[in-house]
Structures are given as structure tokens and as C-alpha cells.
Chain A
């Protein structure tokens, strides 16, 4: 190709690996990502994988961004094409001037290539066959070999990469040797046969800092350990399963009784999601901190039980790792489409507390805080992450914990409290905040026992179908939900560089794309204040933000604008004021998409880039 057209970029490109799932490529690709991070350059990789165990195509798409942008960028500057099955579409996907790295052992006809890209053929299979007699090992070292080639091609520090290999296989010396050899073979071949570095290269920087690299599901599992969870009932479902795997692994590490080796936790794999949430509710009723992890179909199955927990006022924590719905939908693709199903889960008048972590750091912090909220409010609390942050490793702040912090067990009466002879009415609003006092079984021989039920009852937990009792209870639950507003994490406001009457609201995994979109818009002279909502019920700051702007974009990764619906419903906001920006094809939202949509809408609304606030937008009723 004409090399003058080749893309030239340092620390700012997208590289995509096309692999076959089950071929062991994931750990090699992750090692490659870590090598770049160790050089101080931020990366954000994303697995694009099928609902399948072995043999189907899978991609690992990685953005390298010296500027630190962690959202998906889209596009592809370099394709490492290791899957013959998807060759044609992989080659087609490359940007003009991009680079194609492939296994050149087998000759491919000219028609299989493009003439506007750089083609880098490395005879991986041949090199492996020559050097590795063990056939099974060949496949695995082939992966590390292309990493070696990329290290050479992109000017990545070989010593850093070698150290990572040694860390990854610590204690398995044979594997270290085999992998190091393959790494160097790939590296040397690239250096000997191509002009290295290419137009794309990685240069040492200092943009990673002390951040850590972990997936949100693992962070949730750790958050559950730190949050004091002792019981989990769960049922396997993509993309949430690894939350439980992580919880289990951190429990073995942190929750094994030193002398006896016995477990300070109980993990029960249930027969379905109904039983999973049933166990959580049983444990919560009995005074243990309990949680489950699931995804959309599981949420659907849990509806009846969630209504019981709401009405009988039992703490429970649910990590919902959202995927594409409805029905089985897109099980391995990301979406934020369970908000309504969770916020108003179950029949009758219900409202539930939702938390929206933006990244693994918040999966940990909100994941732990959820248990305090659930016990304080005696109600289910949902941590609404999604596949994008749940199953992909993401750079985030290191985890921290305040050792002076104590679990908030809420209004839980002890033996002494009951001895003191206070009037105990399980559903009595003693403090005016809607939150009643509770007891757990076994507390006192003669005081504090009550009968828990999903039917209406009076404040003393006695069965009642009296309208007055029912209304008292519903009004108290409403007050309790108002109290929740003051307890949930506050939204995060980011002011625009210049005063503006236009705002944007986002939540969860949309956060990095939103931040990047704002700078893109700003470059075009369009200024927006942004508010990242972190919880439902919406605290007053959310409504104040909407009131302070003439037009507010609500950026979501679902088709029906679910958060917007909730804002309209709960805040009595005029729908005209809230403009939808919706991305829902299953891929993570990009800054380009958000900025493009907002710029188009603003143009249609005739908001001048030069005078962003001189010309107020359409007036709407408060």
C-alpha cells in the first residue's frame, strides 16, 4: 500500500483482536493490555463475545488513549486477524490506512486483502510448529507469540512484557519458559522483518497513576465481602455469574476461620432465580446480610418475591448485571434496560432503591454501601451495573476503606432493647421517617416475636384487611421512600466551562463516554452541564438540576428512555424538557454518538454555538 496514507498515531488508537472463543486468547490479550498500562498509558479493552463455549468468533477491542478516555471509541486502526471464519468482515472493518496483522503461514490470495492498508504477515503457526513439539502447547503459545510481535511492532517495552509473563505464570516455571520464548520469537520476527515501530506506537507516559485494572463483577464480589454479606443464593446467568465466582474466591481468602478452616459465609447455588432471591429474603429476615447476582431474565423471575420483600420490609441486595433484553435478548451484549423492571418490580404499588455504579471502583463502594442501605431501609436495594463494566476490566481508582466505618444494621432491636420494655410494633412509624423497628428470630424468649407476611397487617403485624390499616402502611412506605432520598449516594455534577442553560443527565457505564462527549461538544462551542445520577429515588439535587436548565438531554443505553420515564414520573417533569439520547444496539455507547446526537438536537433547536445562553430555549412549565 501507499505508506504515506498509513495512520500515524502515538498512544491514541484502537486495536482489535479477532479470535476464536475457547482458544486461550483472552489471557494473552489481557497481558498485552497490561503491558501498555505498565508503560503508563491508559487502555480500555472490551470483550465482544458470543453466547457460546467454544468455536465461535470473539473479539477483544482495545482503545489506547494517552488522553485517558476509557469509553469505547469505535473504529479500528489495527486488526489482529486470528480467526479465518471472520476474516472478510475483520479486514473490511479496518480504517483506511490501518494495519492488518495475521498468521501468514498459509498463503492467502491477493483478493483477500485491501490495498489501502498495511499488511503484516507473521508465520505464527510455522514458528510454533518449528519450536514447540507439543501440539497442545502450540495453540497457546501462538497467542503469546502474536503479543510478542505486537510488542515489537508498536514499540512496547519488551522487559515490561516479560515481567508480566513471569507474574502471570508465577510458580509454573515450565510455562514461564515456554511463553517467554514465544514472546521473544514473535518480537524478534517482527523486528527483523518490518520497519518497527509502525506508524502506530506506544510511548511511555505517566497517565495511569495509581489506578487499578479490574472488572466490575469482581469489584462487586469484593464489595459484598466488605459490605458484610454472609449469605448468597444465586443461579448462573450471563453476565452476572462472575460476581459470585469473585465473592466465592474473596471469601476463601478473607473469610476462612484461621484455625478451623471453616467458612464465615454460605454460598448456595439455587435451582432458579426464584429460589435464589427466596434464600436472600429468608437470610435477610433472619438477620444476615444477603445478596444475589443476576441479569434481566432473573429479575423477571424474582418479581413476586421482590414485592414480598418490599411489603414485608426485608433487607436484600441484588446486583443486576444488565444485558440486552427483552426475553433472552442479547445475553452477551450490554444495555441499561432493566431500570423500570427493577424500580417498580412486582405487582401493586412498589418502589425500589437502585444504585448506578459508573465503574469497578463504584461497583465496590456502592456494592458495599448497598448492604447498609438495605438494612437501614429494610428493603431490597439493586446495584445496577451492566455487562460493559461488569465483564470488562477497566482502569479505576484503587479501592479504599475507612477502618473506622461500622456496618449500619439499622433499626434492629436487641435483647436489651426488648428488655427495656419499649412498645414494639413491627410496622409502627415511631420516628416519623417511615422506617419501623424490627427484631430477628431468637432474640428474646417472650418479647419481640411477630408474624411476617405479605398480606396487609396493622402496625403490630396482626393480619388486617381494614382500609385504614392498609392506608397507614402505604403512607408510611411512601415516607420511607422519601427518607431513602436522603440516604442514597448524591448525584455528581460537572459544570460546563461556560455558563449554559443546557444540561445532560447520564448514569452508570455511560459516564466515560459522556465526559468525553462534553469535551467534543465544547470544542464546537457547545456547553452542557452534566449530572451523573447515582441512585433512585432521585434526590433533590436531580430535580434542582433539571429545574436549572431549559433543556436536559437524558443519555441512556436502552430503547425506551427508562430513566427519563422515571424522572417524568417521580419529578412531575414536563416530558418536553427531557430529550432522549438513546443507544441500544448492544455495543457500549461512544462519545461520538452522544456528541453527534446532542449537536444535531441543539442545531434543530437553533441553539447558537456562539451564544449558548443568550437565547433561552422553549419555556416549559416547572
Chain B
């Protein structure tokens, strides 16, 4: 996040990652969102995650739809190509981009209006299709740019700033993602960067559809008493099931964990997910169990966060399509055009 313009000079002791980049190299334009907006914390978490993972900025494509959340890709990864597409349709644009070049990291950023209302169809089908991407929904339960209407993720009974009580049932995007085939499903809170940054890192290193529902309070329209998406409410009802550490393949494992408290998942690319259990004995490899757990806890008014589900054995869309290793957008004429010889044979068969 770059809420305030920062001086261009860097201190000599500024931390650099393995590629020699500073955090600043992963930042973007100055945010135009409201001061205190949860979305800016998510942007900062994306910057931190990419810095930590030594991501080459130009090997990331960041895509979004329309809305406050969809503006944010302009505010991080300034050296990455970004695409602010049309409302609710980021998933299809991202899918097409991923088809064109399988060798970039795809980061889709969306909001609750963008993904749960106008774009719920595209959200669902991108998950089904197994697109290799990190899909973050910055979920505040409200339409900000149009001044405070409920969105489809607003809880039933939640009160708007104008005092209206929401009577419609909420859509739980994490539950949907679980049902539709996402192989990495997490929920987090923009006010908890310690939880969020590792979840983004794990998602970026995941080889399939990774979805993170981030509750991200709207300070202007949905941070009052009676709202179930306010900072206070989320803090009080946050029920984390685990804490994640992402270990890169070559890294030394320094942390030690009490016996039985750790679950270890090795992802496709060799990155290791260390999941520290918190209280409950939660199994993030059990998809049906995860779906049940979410439902049960939601009925009790809890907001379940953490890495809810991970399956590191899944195949992505390119595996389904059996496409070549090389990016399709890099194939030259010689690989694409069969030439006049093939036409002669074809013409002969059409007479």
C-alpha cells in the first residue's frame, strides 16, 4: 500500500530480497481509497507476500473487475501489468490471459459486489475450470462507490449505515469455492496481516485455483454498530482454525513446533505449508468436513478464518487441456501455421 507519497531515496540498510528488490519495488500508485480502508491493508499484504517470495514483478499479471477493491491492483506491483476489466467479469479475462501464457502468476482481485452479485457466474466457473490463480475477494458487505447499498455477502440482520436491516440471505464465497472445486480456500481479515500475508504466499505458490475471502471493513459505509463486517465485529467473532507458515523449497526450517500441533503440506512447486493448529482439531484436507465446519460455525455467529482447505494434488486447467509447456503466446508462425503443403492435401479431400 502506498497511501502517502514516500521519499524516493532509500536508506542503505533497506531490506532487499533474493532478487535484490526492496518492498518499494512491489508497491504501486498512491491509493485513492478512504483512510483506514481495509483494502489498503490487503494491498500491503500482497506487497509483503511478493517481496517475501522473491517474485519477479513482471512475471505477475494482476486483474480485477470494477469497484473499490478492483481499483487496488493499481496500488501494488507497479512493475506488473494490470487489467481493470468490466464489472464482475475479471474471472473470464484472467482465464483467457492464463490460457495465453501459463508461465505467469495470476492474481485476481475482486470485491463482494463484483464476485458475489454481478459476477457470481464467472466466479463459479473459474473455480470449476481449475484456473491456476490467486483469487482474492476484498469483502466488506457493501457497495462503496455507490454509497452504501448492501452487497450479497451482507449477513441477514446486519444493519446499514442508514439503519436499514438486511433481510436477504448472505452468500458465503469461501463455501462456494469449496463446493466448486477450488483447491486452496482460505478466509482472513484485513486487520490481521500476520494471518493474511502467509495465506497469500501459500496461494501464490499453489498450482491451481486458490481463493481467499478477506473480510475488509469499509470505514465509510460499513464500520458501525450493527454491521457484521466492522472492525470490532470481525475481531470479536474471528475464529481462526490454524496459522500458516509458507516455507520455500530451499529455505532452512528454523521454527520448531510442539509435537502433534503441526500439519505439513507439500505443494506442486515444492513449497511447504506448515499449518499450526489452533485449539480445534481442524483437518484442512477434508473438503466435506470443511464445508460442514463452516456451516456449523456460521450458525453460531463465528467467522471462521485460516487455511480452510488445501489439496496439493489437483490439476489445473492447462493440465486438463494438455497444452504444451511453452506459453501459447510465444509460439511463432512455424509452430502455428501448417503452410501451403497441408492445404494441397486438404483441398484434394474436398473434391
| Residues in chain A within 8 A of chain B (CB atoms) | 37-38, 210-214, 222, 225-226, 228, 230-231, 233, 254-255, 257, 260-268, 270-272, 274-288, 290, 304-305, 308, 398-403, 406-407, 439-446, 449-455, 462-463
Cβ–Cβ contact B339 & A442, under 8 A: no
Residues of chain A contacted by B80 (CB below 8 angstroms): 441, 449
B122/A275 in contact, CB under 8 A = yes
14 contacts between A and B (CB under 8 A): A213-B350, A214-B350, A225-B337, A230-B329, A233-B95, A264-B335, A271-B125, A275-B122, A278-B91, A279-B99, A288-B100, A288-B329, A441-B97, A441-B101
In the complex, per-residue mask of B48-74: 1 if CB is within 8 Å of any chain A CB, else 0: 000000001111110100000000011
With a cutoff of 8 Å between Cβ atoms, the chain B residues found around residue A454 in the complex are 84-86
Check if A263 sits within 8 Å of B322, measured CB to CB.
Answer: yes
Q: How far is the CB of B107 from chain A (nearest CB, A)?
A: 11
Contact partner, A262, options B98, B103, B322, Cβ 8 Å: B322
Contacts A212-B351, A263-B323, A449-B58; A228 near B94 (Cβ below 8 A): no
Q: State which of B83, B86, B339 has its C-beta within 8 Å of the C-beta of A285.
A: B83
B103 partner, pick from A211, A442, A462, beta carbons under 8 A: A442
B84 near A266: Cβ-Cβ < 8 Å: no
Q: Is the CB of B93 within 8 A of A282?
A: yes
Are A441 and B92 in contact (CB-based, < 8 A)?
no
- Alpha-carbon separation in the docked complex, A400 to B97 (Å): 32
Residue of A nearest to B335 (CB): A264
B338–A230 CB distance below 8 A: no
Q: A233 to B85, Cβ gap below 8 A?
A: no
**B-side contacts of A214, CB under 8 Å:** 350
The answer to whether B328 and A266 have CB atoms under 8 Å apart is yes
Q: Do residues A282 and B96 form an inter-chain contact, with CB atoms below 8 A?
A: yes
Asked whether A308 lies within 8 Å of B104 as measured between CB atoms, the reply is no
What residues on B are CB-neighbors of A265 within 8 Å? 323, 328
B97 touches A285 (CB 8 A): yes
A230 and B86 contacting across the interface, CB-CB below 8 Å: no
Are A442 and B333 closer than 8 Å at their CB atoms?
no
Q: In whole angstroms, how far apart are the Cα atoms of A230 and B121 in the complex? A: 25
Interface set, chain B 98-120, CB cutoff 8 A to A: 98-101, 103-104
Excluding A279-B93, A451-B81, 10 further A-B contacts by CB distance (< 8 Å) are A214-B350, A263-B324, A271-B122, A281-B93, A281-B96, A282-B99, A402-B340, A441-B80, A442-B58, A452-B81
Which residue of B60, B81, B351 is within 8 Å of A440 (Cβ)? B81
Question: In the bound complex, do residue B337 and residue A444 qualify as a contact, i.e. CB atoms below 8 Å apart?
Answer: no
Residues of A within 8 A of B129 (CB): 268
Selected interface stretch from B189-197, B293-301, B341-349: B341-349
- A446–B79 contact, CB under 8 A? yes
Most buried by B among A276, A286, A287: A286
CA distance A485 to B56 in the complex (A): 41
Q: Does B89 contact A (CB under 8 A)?
A: yes
Which 8 pairs of residues, A with B, have the shortest CB-CB distance? A282-B96, A278-B92, A288-B100, A279-B96, A441-B81, A282-B93, A287-B329, A212-B350
Question: Is the CB of B280 closer than 8 A to any CB of chain A?
Answer: no
Q: How many residues of B contact A (CB 8 A)?
A: 61
Query: Given A228-B337, A280-B96, A451-B74, A288–B84 Cβ distance below 8 Å?
Result: no
B331 contacts partner chain A, Cβ-Cβ < 8 Å: yes
Q: Which residues of B contact A266 (CB under 8 A)?
A: 99, 318, 321, 323, 328
A264 touches B336 (CB 8 A): yes
Give the chain A neighbours of B104 by CB distance below 8 A.
286, 441-442
User: Knowing A214-B350, A444-B58 touch, does A282 contact B94 (C-beta < 8 A)?
Assistant: yes
| A443 B73 Cβ-Cβ under 8 A | no
Contact, CB under 8 Å: B338 / A452: no
CA distance A210 to B351 in the complex (A): 8
Residues of chain B within 8 A of A213, CB atoms compared: 350-351
Once the chains are docked, how many angstroms separate the CA of A399 from the CA of B339? 11
A308 close to B125 (CB less than 8 A): no
Contacts of A463 in B (CB 8 A): 74
- How far apart are B92's CB and chain A's nearest CB, in angstroms? 3
Q: Does B226 sit within 8 A of A, measured CB to CB?
A: no
Report yes or no: B347 in contact with A398, Cβ–Cβ below 8 A: yes
| Chain B residues whose CB sits within 8 angstroms of the CB of A446 once the complex forms | 58, 79
In the assembled complex, which residues on chain A have CB atoms less than 8 Å from the CB atom of B78? 449
B170 close to chain A: CB less than 8 A:
no
Contact between B89 and A278, CB atoms less than 8 A apart: yes
Q: A278-B85, A406-B333 are in contact. Are A283 and B99 (CB under 8 A)?
A: yes
Q: Is there an interface contact between A279 and B342, defined as CB atoms closer than 8 Å?
A: no
User: How many Å from the CB of A130 to the closest CB on chain B?
Assistant: 36
A450-B81 in contact given A214-B350, A274-B92, A288-B101 (Cβ < 8 Å) = yes
Cα-based distance from A9 to B171 in the complex (angstroms): 71
In whole angstroms, what is the CA distance A222 to B318 when docked? 23
Q: Give the residues in chain A near B79, CB-CB below 8 Å.
A: 445-446, 449
Closest to B93 in A: A282
Q: How far is the CB of A530 from chain B (nearest CB, A)?
A: 28
| Max chain A C-beta neighbours (<10 A), residue from B63, B322, B337, B339 | B337
Q: Contacts A214-B350, A286-B97 given: A274-B324 contact, CB under 8 Å?
A: no
Q: Return the contact of A287 from the options B89, B100, B339 (Cβ within 8 A).
A: B100
Q: Of B81, B98, B325, B347, which is within 8 A of A439 by CB?
A: B81
Q: Which of A210, A272, A281, A402 is in CB contact (< 8 Å) with B121?
A: A272
**Cβ of B74 to closest chain A Cβ, rounded Å:** 5
Quick one: closest B residue to A266, CB to CB? B99
Q: Is B157 an interface residue (CB 8 A)?
A: no
CB of B314 within 8 Å of the partner chain: no
A266 to B97, CA, bound (A): 11
Which A residues lie within 8 Å of B148 (CB)?
Answer: none
